[in-house]
Amino acid sequence: MAGSAAGNATYLKMQRNSYATVATTREGAEAAVHPNYAEARAASKSTLAYMLNDYAERNATVRGADITEVRKEFLEIPKKGAFRALDYGCGVGRNMEELVNSGFAADGVDISPEMLGFAKNSETLSKAGSKFFLSGGQDCGDAPAASYDFVFSVLCFQHICVRSIRSSILQSMHRALKPNGVVSIQFQYYPKITSAQIPQNHASWSEDKVNAVGTNSAADVWVTADKLHEVHDDFRALFNDVRFQFIEIGTYPGLEKQYEYPFGHLFVSGSKTAGLRDRIYKPV
């Protein structure tokens, strides 16, 4: 999917400048990640547990394994040191810290050098030897190819209102994954409206809104039911066994003015190599 190079460059410059303006302090950087950063930080553990369970189901080595075998096998991974994750839009590093504290290796990518600076100051991540990569805004920076078991993004992609840029990032994520790697990305989902009802400052999945004047809730991509086939198409172009998981939220206390319609979250995941068939349907 090709967008206007000049338009994309203008949009990405706006994003970088926006983060540079707010991330002059740790507190400002945290506020840019989430208006209630403490809540987002506390949710990291359970959110990652859900996402990693998806990874475990896709990568059980035993064909037709039951849930006990899948969980047991996955719990052994940190002991073997074989699992490495890449957090796209890592911000100040909250999700990376949760992974490291659970025994996994984690690296991070972000468009903002200011955000990465705060993440690099994390004692937890420093001791773990985590690596950080500056993104051009539509890639994973210098993250090495075919090196990650799990590439994920939380509270990031929903703020990218240019479809061609999202597609470019997905391509870069695909390159970063090992052959059996898994991608998992969270979006904001609006089940009660169609794309025609999206406020003008935001964008439908189809749009390349390169003229956005802000980011982080000022100009987001709003995923709606009538565009889910396009979301699927973009992921299926690169990944196998694509899965949609809808999380019901409704009205979020304190954010009624920013999000005037009830919303939920949508997690989209996929595997670089198809494998769920053999894991779900045990050979006779």
Q: What is the pLDDT of residues 143-155, one digit of tens each?
A: 999 999 999 999 9
State the pLDDT at residue 255.
57
The structure tokens 């970088």 sit at: 16
pLDDT digits (tens, 9 = 90+) for 45-93: 999 999 998 998 888 776 666 777 777 777 777 666 789 999 999 999 9
The structure tokens 């001791």 sit at: 127
Q: Give mean pLDDT, residues 27-47.
A: 92
State the pLDDT at residue 187.
98
pLDDT digits (tens, 9 = 90+) for 197-209: 999 999 999 999 9
CATH number for the domain spanning 116: value is: 3.40.50.150
Q: Give mean pLDDT, residues 136-149.
A: 98
The Cα-based distances of 62 to 56, 74, 77 in angstroms read 11, 12, 15
> β-pairing, 84-88 with 105-110?
parallel
Q: Give mean pLDDT, residues 97-104.
A: 94
Tell me the C-alpha distance between 69 and 57, whole Å: 10
Confidence band (pLDDT; 50, 70, 90) for 9?
very high
Q: Give mean pLDDT, residues 95-120.
A: 97
Instruction: Return all residues near 155 (Cβ < 8 A) that are at least 6 apart.
Output: 33, 34, 40, 89, 91, 186
Tell me the C-alpha distance between 152 and 196, whole Å: 29
In sequence order, what are the beta bridge partners of 166? none
Following CA atoms 107, 111, 113, 119 in sequence, which dihedral angle do they give, to the nearest 10 degrees? -30
The Cα-based distances of 105 to 58, 88, 129 in angstroms read 19, 14, 8
Residue 161: closest CA among 136, 198, 192: 198
The structure tokens 């709003």 sit at: 222
The residue range of the domain holding 102 is 5-280
State the pLDDT at residue 259.
65
Q: Into how many domains does the chain fold?
A: 1
Percent of the chain at pLDDT > 70 equals 92
Mean pLDDT of the chain: 91
State the pLDDT at residue 158.
97
pLDDT of 2 above 70: no
> β-pairing, 240-250 with 84-88?
unpaired
> For residues 186-213, b (16+ Cβ closer than 10 Å) or e, as one string?
bbbbbeebebeebeeebbbbebbbbebe
pLDDT of 228 above 80: yes
pLDDT of 134 above 70: yes
State the pLDDT at residue 284.
45
pLDDT digits (tens, 9 = 90+) for 157-192: 999 999 999 999 999 999 999 999 999 999 999 999
